[in-house]
A = this chain, B = another copy of it.
Amino acid sequence: MGERYLKSIRLLAECMQGFERLSGEHVRQCGLTHAQFDIIATLGNTPGMPYKELGDKTLITKGTLTGVIERLEQKGLVERERSLDDKRSWFIRLTPRGEQLFREVFPRVVSLGAAVFSGYGDDDFAALEKTLSGLKQVITAGGA
């Protein structure tokens, strides 16, 4: 009785795993690892963000993040700029080439989604968004 949510969690995990199975191939094809794509996707469509914030959003610890950013920098996909306010801090953003990759890869992953959701109507999306929003809220509230 107290474990009904287990079914939901299992479903949630299966959905994510299914989506990763679909998208993973495209991610690898463009020469990115999972962690690297995570960074690119997080920086995409933003003006960039502080190093710290990037680590918090992607759940990558600072020691690891240094290496991941370094490899993306070597590939010319992201760039770092020292913050003026706080000289300890760095601001990370996609380079034009990084932006280009984001715009190439994301739509490819996205087109998979488009096919998957071709049968979804407005009501279906509304229901999905509503339930997931609620779920997100209780989950993140529990962590804070």
Q: Name A residues whose Cβ lies closer than 8 Å to a Cβ of B.
A: 2-9, 11-22, 59, 110, 112-117, 119-120, 124-125, 127-136, 138-143
Q: Which of A4, A14, A119 has most B Cβ within 10 Å?
A: A4
Q: How many copies of the shown chain assemble into the complex? A: 2
Once the chains bind, are A110 and B21 in contact (CB under 8 Å)?
no
Once the chains bind, are B4 and A136 in contact (CB under 8 Å)?
no
> Smallest distance from the beta carbon of A64 to chain B beta carbons, Å?
14
Interchain CB contact (< 8 A) of A125 among B4, B21, B141: B4
Once the chains bind, are A8 and B114 in contact (CB under 8 Å)?
no
Once the chains bind, are A134 and B124 in contact (CB under 8 Å)?
yes
Query: A5-B120, A131-B127 in contact; A142/B22 too (CB < 8 A)?
Result: yes
